[in-house]
Each structure stands twice: as C-alpha cells, then as structure tokens.
Amino acid sequence: DSAIETADLADLKARTFGTLSGGEQARVLLGRALATNARILLADEPVAALDPYYQLTIARILKDQAQAGKPVIAALHDLALAANMADRVIVLKDGEIFADGPPGDVLDDKTTEQVFKVRRPLAGWHIAKPV
C-alpha cells in the first residue's frame, strides 16, 4: 500500500500491465521496486521516453528515497536531470570513470566537452518541483 501511494498508482490497480502506457508502466515498475523494500534502489534510465511530468515525478520519488537514507543508483543520460537531482555523479568514458563528485564539480565545461562533446548543456535549465 505504501509503494502504491508513493508511486501514485491507486488509479492503475485494476488494470493489467499490458494495457498501461509507457509512463504508467514505468511508475508500476518503480512501485514494484519500492514494494520490495530493497536496501538499495538501482534504476537504469528510469525516466527514458517519459513526458516531462513523469520524468520529474519519478526523479522526485527517487530523490525522496535517497533523502530518507536509501542508497539510489541511477544510470541517466539526461545531464540536466542528473545535475538537479543527484548528490553525486560518476561520468563514464569508454567504460572507465572519467569524473566523480558533486554534480556542480563534475558536470563542468571540460568534462561535458571531452565526454559528451557539448558545451554548457545545463545553461538555463531549472527543474521545478512537480505539483
């Protein structure tokens, strides 16, 4: 019940998984992970292909879990989301750790240019807390 409430799944309880949209399925999978009460949450691209509201909602749930003391490890390609939601970022290049630390230190111009071939990908981005 707690996982259903946390992942906002009450409206989906009567539906089968195959009838759900991609965003709804992502929420159900997160709810299932929360229901196991695992010591650590591992999330591989948990917001991929979701609309912005559900990206922020799932990111907020994961952040809340981390703030409550549960380790959360998420693989993300969205640098803005990582910068705004993570306490620590590990950037990989060619399968090796290129940078590791707080997002503001790690996602600097040097790293993003050398690893992702972009400059200032985070300029102007602010993630608002979902309603």
Q: What is the pLDDT of residues 63-85, one digit of tens each?
A: 999 999 999 999 998 888 898 88
Contact 53, 130 (CB under 8 A): yes
Q: Which stretch of DSSP H or E encloses residue 43?
A: strand 41-44
Cα gap 43→27, rounded to integer Å: 12
Q: Which stretch of DSSP H or E encloses residue 31?
A: helix 22-35
What does the mean pLDDT of the chain come to? 86
Confidence (pLDDT) at 131: 39
Confidence (pLDDT) at 127: 41
Strand partners, 74: 43
Confidence (pLDDT) at 53: 84
Query: C-alpha angle with apex 89: 62 to 104, nearest 5 degrees?
Result: 105
User: What is the per-residue pLDDT across 104-124, written as a single tens digit (0 to 9) for each?
Assistant: 899 888 888 889 887 764 555
